[in-house]
Protein backbone atom coordinates (compact mmCIF):
# COMPACT_ATOMS: atom_id res chain seq x y z
CA UNK A 1 0.00 0.00 0.00
CA UNK A 2 3.01 2.36 0.20
CA UNK A 3 2.30 5.11 -2.34
CA UNK A 4 5.89 6.17 -2.87
CA UNK A 5 9.38 6.27 -1.43
CA UNK A 6 11.45 9.42 -1.85
CA UNK A 7 10.33 13.00 -2.36
CA UNK A 8 6.74 14.02 -2.87
CA UNK A 9 6.32 17.67 -3.79
CA UNK A 10 3.58 19.58 -1.99
CA UNK A 11 2.89 21.50 -5.16
CA UNK A 12 1.79 25.13 -5.24
CA UNK A 13 -1.31 26.10 -7.21
CA UNK A 14 -0.41 28.88 -9.66
CA UNK A 15 -2.96 31.64 -10.20
CA UNK A 16 -3.45 34.28 -12.88
CA UNK A 17 -6.00 37.06 -12.47
CA UNK A 18 -7.75 35.16 -9.72
CA UNK A 19 -8.07 31.86 -11.56
CA UNK A 20 -6.01 28.67 -11.57
CA UNK A 21 -3.26 29.09 -14.19
CA UNK A 22 -3.33 25.72 -15.94
CA UNK A 23 -0.60 26.63 -18.43
CA UNK A 24 1.82 27.37 -15.59
CA UNK A 25 0.61 24.31 -13.69
CA UNK A 26 1.38 22.11 -16.67
CA UNK A 27 4.87 23.58 -16.84
CA UNK A 28 5.45 22.96 -13.15
CA UNK A 29 4.26 19.37 -13.38
CA UNK A 30 6.41 18.55 -16.40
CA UNK A 31 9.46 20.11 -14.74
CA UNK A 32 8.87 18.25 -11.48
CA UNK A 33 8.50 14.88 -13.18
CA UNK A 34 11.50 15.40 -15.46
CA UNK A 35 13.55 16.47 -12.42
CA UNK A 36 12.98 13.11 -10.73
CA UNK A 37 10.32 13.88 -8.16
CA UNK A 38 8.74 10.71 -6.78
CA UNK A 39 5.16 11.89 -6.22
CA UNK A 40 3.00 14.97 -6.68
CA UNK A 41 0.67 16.20 -3.94
CA UNK A 42 -2.05 18.31 -5.51
CA UNK A 43 -4.25 20.75 -3.58
CA UNK A 44 -2.68 20.38 -0.18
CA UNK A 45 -1.84 23.18 2.26
CA UNK A 46 0.94 24.48 -0.02
CA UNK A 47 -1.56 24.35 -2.88
CA UNK A 48 -3.86 26.78 -1.05
CA UNK A 49 -6.65 24.22 -1.03
CA UNK A 50 -8.50 26.07 1.71
CA UNK A 51 -9.33 28.86 -0.75
CA UNK A 52 -10.23 26.64 -3.71
CA UNK A 53 -13.91 25.92 -4.15
CA UNK A 54 -14.87 22.28 -4.74
CA UNK A 55 -15.10 22.68 -8.52
CA UNK A 56 -11.64 24.29 -8.73
CA UNK A 57 -10.18 21.71 -6.37
CA UNK A 58 -11.51 18.72 -8.33
CA UNK A 59 -10.60 20.25 -11.69
CA UNK A 60 -7.05 21.02 -10.55
CA UNK A 61 -6.50 17.45 -9.35
CA UNK A 62 -8.05 16.07 -12.55
CA UNK A 63 -5.73 18.24 -14.65
CA UNK A 64 -2.76 17.06 -12.59
CA UNK A 65 -3.69 13.40 -13.06
CA UNK A 66 -4.10 13.93 -16.82
CA UNK A 67 -0.79 15.79 -17.16
CA UNK A 68 1.31 13.41 -15.04
CA UNK A 69 0.01 10.37 -16.97
CA UNK A 70 0.87 7.86 -14.22
CA UNK A 71 4.59 8.67 -14.40
CA UNK A 72 4.46 9.24 -10.64
CA UNK A 73 1.62 8.90 -8.13
CA UNK A 74 -0.73 11.86 -7.74
CA UNK A 75 -1.85 12.28 -4.14
CA UNK A 76 -4.78 14.63 -3.69
CA UNK A 77 -5.44 16.74 -0.63
CA UNK A 78 -8.98 16.10 0.56
CA UNK A 79 -8.95 17.05 4.23
CA UNK A 80 -11.70 19.03 5.92
CA UNK A 81 -12.94 19.89 9.39
CA UNK A 82 -16.32 18.51 8.26
CA UNK A 83 -16.19 14.71 8.03
CA UNK A 84 -19.06 14.55 5.53
CA UNK A 85 -17.33 17.04 3.23
CA UNK A 86 -14.05 15.12 3.55
CA UNK A 87 -15.86 11.94 2.48
CA UNK A 88 -17.42 13.76 -0.48
CA UNK A 89 -14.05 15.15 -1.63
CA UNK A 90 -12.23 11.87 -1.08
CA UNK A 91 -14.72 9.97 -3.22
CA UNK A 92 -14.75 12.66 -5.91
CA UNK A 93 -10.95 12.69 -6.16
CA UNK A 94 -10.78 8.90 -6.24
CA UNK A 95 -13.29 8.92 -9.10
CA UNK A 96 -11.17 11.28 -11.22
CA UNK A 97 -8.06 9.13 -10.90
CA UNK A 98 -6.08 10.24 -7.85
CA UNK A 99 -3.70 7.49 -6.74
CA UNK A 100 -3.99 8.40 -3.07
CA UNK A 101 -5.29 10.95 -0.60
CA UNK A 102 -3.64 13.28 1.90
CA UNK A 103 -5.96 13.98 4.82
CA UNK A 104 -5.12 16.86 7.15
CA UNK A 105 -6.54 16.81 10.66
CA UNK A 106 -9.82 18.64 11.22
CA UNK A 107 -9.13 22.26 12.10
CA UNK A 108 -10.89 24.85 14.26
CA UNK A 109 -13.48 22.52 15.84
CA UNK A 110 -10.49 20.65 17.39
CA UNK A 111 -11.94 17.22 18.03
CA UNK A 112 -10.67 14.78 20.68
CA UNK A 113 -8.38 11.88 19.77
CA UNK A 114 -11.44 9.61 19.85
CA UNK A 115 -13.21 11.90 17.39
CA UNK A 116 -10.08 12.05 15.25
CA UNK A 117 -9.92 8.26 14.96
CA UNK A 118 -13.63 8.08 14.09
CA UNK A 119 -13.16 10.87 11.50
CA UNK A 120 -10.32 9.10 9.72
CA UNK A 121 -11.95 5.68 9.86
CA UNK A 122 -15.15 7.10 8.33
CA UNK A 123 -13.22 8.57 5.40
CA UNK A 124 -11.04 5.49 4.90
CA UNK A 125 -14.12 3.26 4.86
CA UNK A 126 -15.58 5.36 2.03
CA UNK A 127 -12.75 4.93 -0.52
CA UNK A 128 -10.66 2.23 -2.15
CA UNK A 129 -7.35 4.06 -2.54
CA UNK A 130 -4.55 4.55 0.01
CA UNK A 131 -4.80 7.43 2.44
CA UNK A 132 -2.01 9.33 4.20
CA UNK A 133 -2.74 11.01 7.52
CA UNK A 134 -1.42 14.56 7.89
CA UNK A 135 -0.53 15.94 11.30
CA UNK A 136 0.43 19.64 11.32
CA UNK A 137 -0.73 20.99 14.70
CA UNK A 138 0.96 24.35 14.16
CA UNK A 139 -1.61 25.10 11.46
CA UNK A 140 -4.65 23.13 12.58
CA UNK A 141 -4.40 23.12 16.37
CA UNK A 142 -4.88 19.32 16.32
CA UNK A 143 -2.12 16.77 16.81
CA UNK A 144 -2.43 13.08 15.94
CA UNK A 145 -1.06 11.30 18.99
CA UNK A 146 1.21 8.27 18.55
CA UNK A 147 -1.45 6.02 20.08
CA UNK A 148 -4.02 7.29 17.56
CA UNK A 149 -1.58 6.68 14.70
CA UNK A 150 -1.06 3.16 16.03
CA UNK A 151 -4.81 2.52 16.07
CA UNK A 152 -5.37 4.02 12.60
CA UNK A 153 -2.41 2.19 11.05
CA UNK A 154 -4.41 -1.02 11.28
CA UNK A 155 -6.97 0.22 8.76
CA UNK A 156 -6.33 -1.38 5.33
CA UNK A 157 -6.75 1.94 3.47
CA UNK A 158 -4.51 4.03 5.76
CA UNK A 159 -0.97 3.59 4.51
CA UNK A 160 1.11 6.28 6.19
CA UNK A 161 1.46 9.67 7.84
CA UNK A 162 2.92 13.03 6.89
CA UNK A 163 4.32 14.05 10.26
CA UNK A 164 4.80 17.81 10.55
CA UNK A 165 4.61 18.34 14.29
CA UNK A 166 8.28 19.28 14.45
CA UNK A 167 8.57 16.96 17.45
CA UNK A 168 11.15 14.24 16.81
CA UNK A 169 10.33 12.52 20.11
CA UNK A 170 6.78 12.06 18.81
CA UNK A 171 8.06 10.77 15.47
CA UNK A 172 10.25 8.21 17.28
CA UNK A 173 7.25 7.10 19.36
CA UNK A 174 5.15 6.66 16.21
CA UNK A 175 7.96 4.66 14.62
CA UNK A 176 7.93 2.36 17.64
CA UNK A 177 4.21 1.73 17.31
CA UNK A 178 3.74 1.07 13.58
CA UNK A 179 4.83 -1.74 11.29
CA UNK A 180 7.45 -1.34 8.57
CA UNK A 181 4.63 -1.38 6.01
CA UNK A 182 3.28 1.91 7.39
CA UNK A 183 5.01 4.80 5.63
CA UNK A 184 6.49 7.68 7.65
CA UNK A 185 6.92 10.88 5.63
CA UNK A 186 8.57 14.03 6.90
CA UNK A 187 6.41 17.13 6.69
CA UNK A 188 9.25 19.34 7.94
CA UNK A 189 11.90 20.02 5.29
CA UNK A 190 14.63 20.65 7.87
CA UNK A 191 13.99 17.26 9.52
CA UNK A 192 13.91 14.90 6.55
CA UNK A 193 17.16 13.06 7.28
CA UNK A 194 16.43 12.78 11.02
CA UNK A 195 13.05 11.22 10.23
CA UNK A 196 14.61 8.80 7.75
CA UNK A 197 16.99 7.68 10.51
CA UNK A 198 14.09 6.18 12.50
CA UNK A 199 12.53 4.33 9.58
CA UNK A 200 10.98 7.04 7.41
CA UNK A 201 10.68 6.44 3.68
CA UNK A 202 10.48 9.97 2.34
CA UNK A 203 9.02 13.44 2.60
CA UNK A 204 6.11 15.50 1.38
CA UNK A 205 8.09 18.63 0.81
CA UNK A 206 7.62 22.35 0.23
CA UNK A 207 11.23 23.08 -0.71
CA UNK A 208 10.95 20.42 -3.45
CA UNK A 209 8.93 23.02 -5.38
CA UNK A 210 12.23 24.79 -6.12
CA UNK A 211 14.78 21.94 -5.77
CA UNK A 212 12.94 18.75 -6.77
CA UNK A 213 16.04 16.93 -8.00
CA UNK A 214 18.13 17.61 -4.91
CA UNK A 215 15.30 16.75 -2.52
CA UNK A 216 14.70 13.41 -4.20
CA UNK A 217 18.42 12.67 -4.52
CA UNK A 218 19.05 13.40 -0.83
CA UNK A 219 16.36 10.96 0.26
CA UNK A 220 17.41 8.20 -2.11
CA UNK A 221 21.05 8.62 -1.07
CA UNK A 222 19.98 7.95 2.50
CA UNK A 223 17.73 5.03 1.58
CA UNK A 224 20.62 3.46 -0.36
CA UNK A 225 22.94 3.76 2.62
CA UNK A 226 24.89 6.91 1.74
CA UNK A 227 24.10 8.61 5.02
CA UNK A 228 27.01 11.07 4.88
CA UNK A 229 25.98 12.55 1.52
CA UNK A 230 22.35 12.80 2.61
CA UNK A 231 23.40 14.52 5.84
CA UNK A 232 25.57 17.01 3.99
CA UNK A 233 22.78 17.78 1.54
CA UNK A 234 20.31 18.34 4.39
CA UNK A 235 22.71 20.77 6.07
CA UNK A 236 23.41 22.60 2.79
CA UNK A 237 19.66 23.04 2.22
CA UNK A 238 18.95 24.47 5.67
CA UNK A 239 19.35 28.20 4.85
CA UNK A 240 17.17 27.81 1.75
CA UNK A 241 14.57 25.87 3.75
CA UNK A 242 14.53 28.60 6.40
CA UNK A 243 13.92 31.19 3.68
CA UNK A 244 11.00 29.15 2.33
CA UNK A 245 9.31 29.51 5.73
CA UNK A 246 10.29 33.09 6.54
CA UNK A 247 6.59 33.91 6.18
CA UNK A 248 3.61 31.57 6.23
CA UNK A 249 3.71 28.82 3.59
CA UNK A 250 3.21 29.10 0.59
CA UNK A 251 4.00 32.83 0.41
CA UNK A 252 7.81 32.42 0.24
CA UNK A 253 7.90 29.40 -2.07
CA UNK A 254 5.55 31.08 -4.57
CA UNK A 255 7.77 34.16 -4.45
CA UNK A 256 10.77 31.92 -5.13
CA UNK A 257 9.07 30.22 -8.09
CA UNK A 258 8.18 33.66 -9.44
CA UNK A 259 11.86 34.65 -9.25
CA UNK A 260 12.59 31.51 -11.28
CA UNK A 261 9.93 32.68 -13.80
CA UNK A 262 7.84 29.56 -13.30
CA UNK A 263 4.67 31.18 -11.94
CA UNK A 264 3.17 34.59 -11.29
CA UNK A 265 3.50 35.90 -7.69
CA UNK A 266 -0.23 35.62 -7.06
CA UNK A 267 -2.05 34.36 -4.00
CA UNK A 268 -5.58 33.85 -2.75
CA UNK A 269 -6.51 36.24 0.03
CA UNK A 270 -6.02 36.34 2.95
CA UNK A 271 -2.52 35.37 1.79
CA UNK A 272 -0.67 38.21 0.12
CA UNK A 273 2.75 39.08 -1.29
CA UNK A 274 5.80 38.82 0.97
CA UNK A 275 7.35 41.80 2.75
CA UNK A 276 10.37 43.38 1.07
CA UNK A 277 12.79 42.15 3.76
CA UNK A 278 11.48 38.61 3.29
CA UNK A 279 11.86 38.85 -0.48
CA UNK A 280 15.46 40.01 -0.03
CA UNK A 281 16.23 36.99 2.18
CA UNK A 282 14.53 34.59 -0.24
CA UNK A 283 16.50 36.05 -3.14
CA UNK A 284 19.77 35.93 -1.18
CA UNK A 285 19.39 32.27 -0.26
CA UNK A 286 18.31 31.31 -3.77
CA UNK A 287 21.41 33.01 -5.18
CA UNK A 288 23.62 31.29 -2.62
CA UNK A 289 22.10 27.92 -3.56
CA UNK A 290 22.61 28.64 -7.27
CA UNK A 291 18.96 28.77 -8.29
CA UNK A 292 19.05 32.31 -9.70
CA UNK A 293 21.76 34.74 -10.81
Distance of CA 142 to the CA centre of its chain: 17
Instruction: Provide the CB-side half-sphere exposure for 276 (13 A, CA).
Output: 0
Instruction: Tell me whether residue 269 is exposed, middle or buried, using C-beta atoms within 10 angstroms of its C-beta: 0 to 12, 13 to 18, 19 or more.
Output: exposed
- Rounded Cα gap, residues 227 and 31, in angstroms: 27
pLDDT value of residue 2? 87
Is there a catalytic annotation at residue 177?
A: no
CA atoms of 100 and 89, how far apart (whole Å): 12
Using only the alpha carbons of the chain, give its radius of gyration.
18
Active site (annotated) includes residue 221: no
Interatomic CA distance for residues 172 and 163, integer angstroms: 11
Q: What is the pLDDT of residue 136?
A: 96
192 is in an annotated binding site: no
Catalytic residue, from 70, 108, 110, 134: name it. 134
Can you list the residues of the chain whose pLDDT is less than 50? none
Element containing residue 75 per DSSP (H, E): strand 74-77
Distance CA 4, CA 38 (A): 7
What are 42-90's pLDDT values in tens digits? Answer: 999 999 999 999 999 999 999 999 999 999 999 999 999 999 999 999 9
Three-state secondary-structure class, residue 15: strand
Q: Is 152 helix (H, G, I), strand (E, B) or coil?
A: helix
Cα distances (angstroms) measured from residue 121 to each of 7, 86, 109, 157, 164: 26, 12, 18, 9, 21
CATH number corresponding to 6-226: 3.20.20.70
Confidence at residue 129, expressed as pLDDT on a 0 to 100 scale: 97
pLDDT score for 140 = 94
Going 213 to 1 to 89 to 161, the CA torsion angle's sign is: negative
User: According to the annotation, is 161 in a ligand binding site?
Assistant: no
Give residue 269's pLDDT.
Answer: 96
Of the residues 62, 120, 162, 222, only one is catalytic, namely: 162
pLDDT at position 37 is: 98
- Identify which of 57, 106, 113, 109 has the alpha carbon closest to the alpha carbon of residue 86: 106
Closest C-alpha to 3, from 75, 65, 76, 61: 75
CB 73 within 8 A of CB 3: yes
Amino acid sequence: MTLFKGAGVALVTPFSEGKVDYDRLEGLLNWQVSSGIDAVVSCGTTGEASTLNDEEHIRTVKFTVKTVKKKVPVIAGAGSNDTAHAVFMAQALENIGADGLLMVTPYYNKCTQKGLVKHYEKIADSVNIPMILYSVPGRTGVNISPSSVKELSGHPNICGIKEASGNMSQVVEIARYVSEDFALYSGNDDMIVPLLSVGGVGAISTVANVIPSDTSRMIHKYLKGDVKTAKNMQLAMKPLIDAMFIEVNPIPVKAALSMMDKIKPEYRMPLCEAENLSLYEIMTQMKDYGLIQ
